[in-house]
Structures are given as structure tokens and as C-alpha cells.
Amino acid sequence: MTATDVLTYSGRFRETLMNWGMDGKWATWCVDFSSLFIVLAVSVIIYYILKFIIQRILKRLIARSRSRWDDYLYEHKVFSRLAMLVPALILEIFLSTLISDYPVAISYIHLGVKVYIILIVLLAVNSFLNAAYHIFSDIEESSSKPIKGYIQIAKIVAAVVAGIIIISTLLGQSPITILAGLGALSAVLLLIFKDSILGFVAGVQISGNNMLKIGDWITMPAYSVDGIVTDISLVIVKIRNFDNSIATVPTYSFITGSFQNWRDLFENGGRRLKRHFLVDADSIRFADADFLRKLSGIDLPEDILGEDEQLTNLGLFRRFLVHHLKKHTGINKEMNIVVRQLQPTETGIPVEIQAFSLHREFREFEMFQSELFEFIFAIMHQFELRVYQRPSYASVSASSPT
């Protein structure tokens, strides 16, 4: 239907009302605004037709597509919100023609239509940004380059721009004039958006330096954080601690404070095992021939003794542990394996084990570590070594005369 057709039908309707005895002024008013109502009704009907096409036909076409980006656009209602612009655009086209004799009404309706269009465009932009975030999340590099903060910044910028345009439209002023007026409120705006600005700066540094990504295990003692990163946004980072509690830490804290990222533990070599046990110094002795015969049932390396080398039972035990660790399926053989003696103390001689376990998950690693040291404590007596420990009530009672 063209504007000419609308005028033709409007004229005929006006003549009919006047023939029925209605005053010319009222007949003109009824014709103009009834035509406006009809055009508005038709535009709404067109919108529902488009909505039906989107929900039935377009949805099926998208379901058949192999790509995921169109699914995200549909799920976040990008197409539906763009369709909401149709009634406003149709009304904007025919408005001046239908009620040209009512400039005041035209100005107010134009104002309302413009504000409506700006708000719908803002909703469509937000929907598109949400879809873009999920499209990017499907890319492999997305976990190391989180863009949620940038998406939130884009939403804030879009909302600010839309707000300035709406205010300038309602006041009849240029957006540049509104921006100039906001310059005087810059200090207040900086205070309001302080966390967002700091979060954005922090997000750029975190992303650029690859400091943090979703799925990283981090520890942050200042915030009692020890868990897995689940979300990185503009203002906060969410961490699920190992007790299943959720910790929220300001994003800028990751560049103003310190934290420990255990990512390399999973990506390079394995999880580091570094733990010591205490040997009673009184149980250390030289390894003579009789002692070596007692160890014949233990899997010792063939070259455990060098020529003209006099070892102690502790020295043999350290070499045995290195041999045992190198054969263990849970140890990374390509990384350093060290069993060393630390500085003796009043509580015994510390013997430290350093290796890298292939068990990266917390529960598996703790189980492996516990089983390893239980094996060490159980086999030490075959080397005639004793673990140092403080006397217990039972041991004191057993040694005291009855």
C-alpha cells in the first residue's frame, strides 16, 4: 500500500462520514487518526508474520545448518529484535502523510518512535554481543583470551551512546552539546565507572600477557582462594574453591596483587612432588657384606655400588628410592628425579624427594603421594633405618620398668 492509496481511501472515508451528517472537522479528525490506527495495526500484523517466519521457517533452516554462529544469533533473539523495528519504520514512513494537519501530534509521535527505535537497536546490539561472545567461546583459543570484559565494555558504551542520543532527542539538542555538558561531570562518571575502568585495564593486561584463563587452578592467599577459575568478567573473576565454595575477586586485584597459577603443572611435565621424611641418625650404619646379603630380596639397581665405594644404609636407601621412582609408572621419567639429604636437625636427618607425578588431578596426586610414602615407611626397616618421631605414650610405657 502506497501513500497515494492511503490518501484515496482516506478521502472516500471522510466523504462518507460527512454524508452521514458528521461535522467536517470531526470527520477529518476521525479519518486521519483512524487511518493512523489502521497503519499501526497493519504494521503489528506484519511484525507477527515476520515473527512466525523467524520461529518456524528460519529456525528450521538454522537447525539444518552445520555452523553454530546462526544458532547463537537465533537463541539470543537477534532476528526477533530486529523484526521489532518493522512497526516503527512503517509508522515513521506514513506518519507525516496520514496526519499532516496535526504538527504537534506528529512531533510527539516522531519523538516516541525515535526513542523506541533507539531502544530496540540497543537491545539488538546487546543480543548480538551476547551471541558474539558464545561464538568466540567455541574457538579453541577462547579460554586463554577471555573477551567477556570487552563484551561488557561494549554494552556499557552502547548504553551510554543510546542514552546520549535519547536525551539529545528529547531535549532537541545535538549529541555533541550533551557530550560537552557531560565533560563537567567527568569526575562523577569516573567515580561511578571506577571498577569498570580498572577491570577493563586489568582485562587487557591479563589477556595480553596470558596471565589467567578459564580452567586455571590458582591460589590467592590474600582472598583465601584455592580453586579453579570458572568465569572472567569485566569487574570480577569467579573461582570455585576445592570445598565447592564460590569466591569472587575483583579483576584488577590480579594485577595489583599476587597470585599463583598452577597451569604449567598440567601443561608441562606434570605435578611436582616435593616432600621429605626424617631419619633417626642413630640408625645410620655402614653397608657391609652381611648387610648387603640381607638386601638380596629387594629390587636394587645392578650398579648401586661403585668400585672402592663405602656406602651407608641411608646412601643405599637413597639410591634405591631413585631406582624405584624411575621405574614407577606414575612418575615422569623425562623430568628431574632427586632424592637428597637436607641439613640435619635436632629432630633427625631430613631426606627430600623431588619428582614430577603424572597424576595431575588433586585427588589422584594425593593418593599417589600417600601410597609412595607409605611404601617408604614400610620398607625402611629392611635397610635397618628408623623414622624419627617423638616418643608416644605407648612407647614410653613399653620401655619403662614395670
Does the structure show a pLDDT above 70 at 154? yes
Element (H, E) at 7: helix 3-19
| Cell numbers representing residue 361 in the block | 588431578
| Cell numbers representing residue 299 in the block | 629390587
The reported pLDDT for the residue numbered 145 is 65
Domain assignment present for 359: yes
Q: What is the pLDDT of residues 389-398, one digit of tens each?
A: 877 655 556 5
Do 83 and 55 reside in the same domain of the chain? yes
Domain assignment present for 395: no
| Interatomic CA distance for residues 104 and 88, integer angstroms | 19
Do 243 and 346 reside in the same domain of the chain? no
CA torsion sign for 389, 394, 398, 400 is: positive
Domain assignment present for 243: yes
> What is the percent of the chain where pLDDT is above 70?
77
Stated pTM of the model: 0.50
Domain of 316, CATH number, reads 3.30.70
Domain assignment present for 390: no
Name the phi and psi angles at 90, rounded to 5. Answer: -65, -45
The reported pLDDT for the residue numbered 6 is 47
The C-alpha R_g of the chain, in whole angstroms, comes to: 39
Does the structure show a pLDDT above 70 at 146? no
Does the structure show a pLDDT above 50 at 4? no
| Residue 305's pLDDT band (cuts 50, 70, 90) | low
Does the structure show a pLDDT above 60 at 379? yes
Tracing cell 471522510 back to the chain, one arrives at 14
Domain assignment present for 201: no
Domain assignment present for 156: no
Do 378 and 305 reside in the same domain of the chain? yes
11 vs 234 pLDDT, higher one: 234
Find the mean pLDDT for residues 383-394. 78
342 vs 164 pLDDT, higher one: 342
Do 16 and 133 reside in the same domain of the chain? yes
Domain count, the chain: 3
Q: What is the pLDDT of residues 195-231, one digit of tens each?
A: 777 777 777 777 767 778 888 888 888 888 888 888 8
Q: In the predicted model, what is the mean pLDDT of the chain?
A: 79
Does the structure show a pLDDT above 50 at 1? no
The reported pLDDT for the residue numbered 183 is 62
Do 252 and 378 reside in the same domain of the chain? no
Give the residue numbers spanning the domain of 48: 3-138
Q: What is the pLDDT of residues 311-334, one digit of tens each?
A: 888 988 998 999 999 999 889 888
Identify the CA nearest to 371 among candidates 270, 269, 273, 297: 273
Do 134 and 65 reside in the same domain of the chain? yes
| Interatomic CA distance for residues 82 and 70, integer angstroms | 15
CB 311 within 8 Å of CB 385: no
Does the structure show a pLDDT above 90 at 376? yes
Q: What is the pLDDT of residues 113-133, one digit of tens each?
A: 888 888 989 999 988 888 888
Do 276 and 235 reside in the same domain of the chain? no
Find the mean pLDDT for residues 361-382. 90
Q: What is the pLDDT of residues 51-98, one digit of tens each?
A: 888 888 887 887 787 777 888 888 888 888 888 888 888 888 877 776
Domain assignment present for 323: yes
Q: What is the pLDDT of residues 243-285, one digit of tens each?
A: 888 988 888 888 888 888 877 766 666 788 889 999 999 899 8
Do 250 and 295 reside in the same domain of the chain? no
Do 10 and 132 reside in the same domain of the chain? yes
Bridge partner residues of 286 (DSSP): 312
341 vs 212 pLDDT, higher one: 341
Do 227 and 289 reside in the same domain of the chain? no
